[in-house]
Structure 1
Amino acid sequence: MAITRDFAPRLMPAPQAAHYLGVSESTLRKLGIQTLPLRGKRLYDRFDLDAFADNLERGEESDREEGACDRAFGVAS
């Protein structure tokens, strides 16, 4: 019987960790996020992934490029 989860597991292999961050596996590997060894596998800790994302610089609202969705809903500046 398959286990279904509504949350991300604490430790993840590269494909799942990349999906969690919304990047490709090759990009994930270039980010330098520490992995943990477990039974011959290298796993990413969700807390490390969250910390990486939390430390990314956020652009100013004015830096945001006007998108098609904004134009479609009439909220473009």
Structure 2
Amino acid sequence: MTYAFTPRLLPSPAAAAYLGVSESMLRKLGIPRKEQGAKRLYDRTDLDAHADELPYEGQPDNVDIEEQAVNACDDAFGVKR
């Protein structure tokens, strides 16, 4: 089905395409699904939140960007914590 907009709730094939992954990878990501009758659908906001949490290329995936900024500021002013 083609939409003029991205619907809020997406079935697995559309949710996988939205994130650019296969359906099997989508299931492995552990993103919660919502129930609408017998359907299990992914909320686009949950998909966006997952994408937002991914690290940028070259950025260590276990370092928080805000923490990096605070540490850089502390280092610049000689603050020791």
Unaligned runs of 5+ in 2: 60-81
In structure 1, runs of 5+ residues without a counterpart are 62-77
TM-score (norm 2): 0.67
Q: Which has the larger radius of gyration?
A: 2
- 1:12 corresponds to which residue? 10
Which of 47, 50, 65 aligns to 2:48? It is 50
> For 1:43, what is the secondary structure of its paired residue?
strand
How many residues in Structure 1 have an aligned counterpart in Structure 2? 59
Query: Pairwise mapping of residues 37-76 of structure 1 onto structure 2 (< 5 A)?
Result: 37-60=35-58
Partner amino acid for 1:38? Answer: Q
Q: If each structure's helix is expressed as a fraction of its own residues, which one has the higher value?
A: 2
Give aligned-pair identity as a percent: 59
Amino acid at match of 1:39: G
- Aligned letter for 2:12? A
2:22 pairs with 1:36: no
* Divergent runs of 4+, >6 A: none
State the superposition RMSD in angstroms.
1.8
